[in-house]
Amino acid sequence: MAPARNQQRSLAAVAVVLGAVVATAGVAGAVAFSSDANGAAESGDGRTVEVGASGAVEADPDQAVLRVAVVARSPDVAAARQQLADNVSAMRSALADAGVADDQIRTAHYDISEDHRPENRERKYRAIHAFEITLSDVDRVGPVIDTAVASGADRVDGVEFTLSEDRRRQLRRQALDDAMDNARAQADTIAGKAGLSITGVHAASTVDVDARPYRTEAAMAGDGGGGTAIESGPVTVTAQVQVVYNASG
């Protein structure tokens, strides 16, 4: 029984040393020794290095989503609804004349309810119809906002600069490539400190891929003239991966 106890102590010592190596590497990773026969067969001599890594790509937006709302108030609920419908119709007609197609506009919110503001001395109703307008030309954001406000929109609730679906897929692949490169670099660092060499990928998975849009508020021009100026910023696409590498040494 003594040899078995000595062997267990040796394995425990190895585990402690390797744990210290991982801690000093400064990355999210681990070195593992497989005691399962199938695991050892699948991963060479049973040694693996597991790391988590992320990648990021920045790009200029090629799509903008602006949010506007038409608001109507009246003591009569039917009158509020009709006024809202008329103002919405006028705004959409002006947007169509400006080259914004119907399929670029969608309803984001619609509500008719009693207006409970303290300054109201009599019952009033408030009707709101909010829209999202999607533009493939980000330089048109300012002029489209001006058109919407001049023709019936009462609120501009913000602008989001983002990516079209094709561009998003392209950048997603680049972010994943970057994440995998970072994962391999981390694995090489961990394996090197543990006296091992990476021999291949045992398993890999995508933890998360996210595109962070650039959001801004619209600053509309006052009575002094001029148009609405909107400045866009870069959109960041990030990816996270979890990779298990085979190792030997």
Is 12's pLDDT higher than 80?
no
Query: Does any domain span residue 18?
Result: no
What value does the mean pLDDT of the chain take?
A: 82
Do the beta carbons of residue 161 and residue 88 sit within 8 Å? no
The lowest-confidence range among 21-25, 73-77, 131-135, 221-225 is 21-25
- What is the spatial distance between Cα 171 and Cα 187, in angstroms, rounded to a whole number? 24
Is 5's pLDDT higher than 50?
no
- What is the spatial distance between Cα 148 and Cα 142, in angstroms, rounded to a whole number? 10
Query: Does any domain span residue 174?
Result: yes
**Amino acid, single-letter form, for residue 156:** V
pLDDT in tens, 55-108: 999 999 999 999 999 999 999 999 999 999 999 999 999 999 999 999 999 999
Q: State the pLDDT at residue 212.
A: 79
Q: State the pLDDT at residue 106.
A: 98
Query: Does any domain span residue 11?
Result: no
Claim to verify: residue 211 and residue 235 sit in the same structural domain: yes
Is 15's pLDDT higher than 80?
no
SS (H, E, C) the chain: CHHHHHHHHHHHHHHHHHHHHHHHHCCCEEEEECCCHHHHHHCCCCEEEEEEEEEEEEECCCEEEEEEEEEEEECCHHHHHHHHHHHHHHHHHHHHHCCCCHHHEEEEEEEEEECCCCCCCCCCEEEEEEEEEEECCHHHHHHHHHHHHHHCCCEEEEEEEECCHHHHHHHHHHHHHHHHHHHHHHHHHHHHHCCCEEEEEEEEEEEEEEEECEEECCCCCCCCCCCCCCCCCCEEEEEEEEEEEEEEC
Q: State the pLDDT at residue 32.
A: 53
pLDDT in tens, 147-182: 999 999 999 999 999 999 999 999 999 999 999 999
Claim to verify: residue 158 and residue 83 sit in the same structural domain: yes
Claim to verify: residue 121 and residue 242 sit in the same structural domain: no
If pLDDT is split at 50, 70 and 90, which confidence band does 191 have?
very high
Claim to verify: residue 199 and residue 241 sit in the same structural domain: yes
- What is the spatial distance between Cα 208 and Cα 33, in angstroms, rounded to a whole number? 27
Query: Does any domain span residue 2?
Result: no
Give the domain range for residue 30: 25-60+166-220+227-248
Q: In the chain, how many domains are there?
A: 2
Is 193's pLDDT higher than 70?
yes
Give the pTM.
0.70
Query: Does any domain span residue 81?
Result: yes
The CATH number that applies at residue 243 is: 3.30.110.170
Query: Does any domain span residue 153?
Result: yes
Average pLDDT for residues 21-32, to the nearest whole number? 40
Claim to verify: residue 170 and residue 54 sit in the same structural domain: yes
Q: State the pLDDT at residue 144.
A: 97
Claim to verify: residue 80 and residue 137 sit in the same structural domain: yes
